[in-house]
């Protein structure tokens, strides 16, 4: 079971940005690369903006951005997680295109998921890894306990081999692209970013590992899980 660290803070944006940049500096110092998966939704947007505002001369060429999930929409769609990251981080911080691996939400979901998996596999193979290992995966917490696009009762929860899948979410009547638990649980570090609007009872039940909630099934075998929870 992973080591879990919990920080409750009124300085959510500053503390979350500091944590992420600390992990980046450590990874670059140790391995000359920082592999981070961004989460979507609303909570991370001000954290990304804060990172962009304080990293004028950051070595973005040493960072590889992936996405833990994506809506099946074009990259310019306001619903797109890529669009949110581009607006709040990539453009203001002048992150080079080659540092960004976008999930192609605009094409057939099954093909997009296969392509993303192949991209991750190619990089992993180049590093002699059996599966791509993220230094840090950012995750949010949905009101139903979902994380990434691993929603309760959906097929992707049971995926044990594919790293990225297309997942139909009946509640949204929409397809999503998402990391699966095998990929998530292979990360060195997980950071859950949880805003003050989230139900404290839900947070507690997930922290108690109530398996009915997908977020409670995040348990990196050789990694750490940090929760930064806004008070």
- What residue ranges bind ligand 6PG (CB under 6 A)? 39-43, 69, 81, 140-142, 146-149
Cα–Cα distance between 61 and 127 in angstroms, integer? 17
Residue nearest to ligand 6PG (CB): 140
Min separation Cβ 181 and ligand 6PG, Å:
14
Closer to ligand 6PG by Cβ: residue 85 or 93:
85
Other CB atoms within 10 A of residue 197 CB: 9
Q: Phi, psi at residue 168, to the nearest 5°?
A: -80, 130
**204's tokens:** 């507690």
Q: Give the nearest distance from C-beta 70 to ligand 6PG in angstroms.
A: 7
If the CB atoms of residues 125 and 196 are measured against ligand 6PG, the closer one turns out to be 196
Number of H helices, E strands in the chain: 6, 9
- Is the CB of 40 or the CB of 220 nearer to ligand 6PG? 40
- As measured in angstroms, the least distance from the Cβ of 61 to ligand 6PG is 26
Rounded CA-CA distance 190/203 in Å is 16
Minimum CB separation of residue 215 from ligand 6PG in Å reads 9
Nearest Cα neighbor of 218 from 109, 138, 119, 155 is: 138
Look at the chain and count its residues.
231
CB of 41 to ligand 6PG, least distance (A): 3
Q: Which residue, 137, 70, 77, is CA-closest to 104?
A: 70
Please provide residue 207's backbone torsions phi and psi, each rounded to the nearest 5 degrees: -65, -25
Nearer to ligand 6PG, 41 or 182 (CB): 41
Measured between alpha carbons, how far is 216 from 202 in angstroms, rounded to an integer? 10
Query: Among residues 14 and 28, whose Cβ is nearest to ligand 6PG?
Result: 14
Residue 208: count other Cβ atoms within 10 Å of its Cβ. Answer: 9
Nearer CB in complex with ligand 6PG: 148/190: 148
Q: What is the nearest approach in angstroms of ligand 6PG to the Cβ of residue 50?
A: 15
């Amino acid at each position: 079971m992973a080591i879990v660290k919990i920080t409750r803070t009124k300085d959510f944006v500053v503390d979350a940005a500091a944590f992420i940049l600390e992990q980046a500096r450590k990874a670059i110092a140790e391995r000359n690369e920082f592999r981070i998966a961004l989460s979507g939704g609303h909570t991370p947007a001000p954290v990304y903006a804060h990172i962009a505002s304080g990293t004028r001369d950051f070595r973005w060429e040493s960072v590889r951005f992936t996405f833990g999930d994506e809506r099946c929409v074009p990259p310019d769609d306001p619903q797109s997680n890529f669009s949110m990251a581009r607006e709040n981080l990539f453009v203001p911080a002048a992150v080079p295109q080659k540092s960004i691996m976008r999930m192609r939400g605009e094409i057939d979901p099954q093909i997009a998921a296969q392509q993303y998996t192949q991209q991750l596999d190619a990089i992993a193979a180049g590093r002699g890894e059996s599966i791509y290992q993220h230094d840090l995966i950012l995750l949010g917490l949905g009101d139903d306990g979902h994380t990434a696009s691993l929603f309760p009762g959906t097929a992707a929860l049971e995926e044990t081999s594919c790293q990225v899948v297309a997942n139909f979410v009946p509640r949204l009547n929409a397809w999503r692209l998402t990391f699966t638990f095998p990929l998530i649980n292979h990360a060195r570090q997980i950071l859950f970013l949880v805003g003050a609007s989230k139900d404290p009872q839900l947070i507690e039940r997930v922290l108690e590992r109530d398996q009915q909630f997908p977020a409670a099934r995040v348990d990196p075998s050789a990694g750490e899980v940090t929760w930064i929870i806004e008070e």
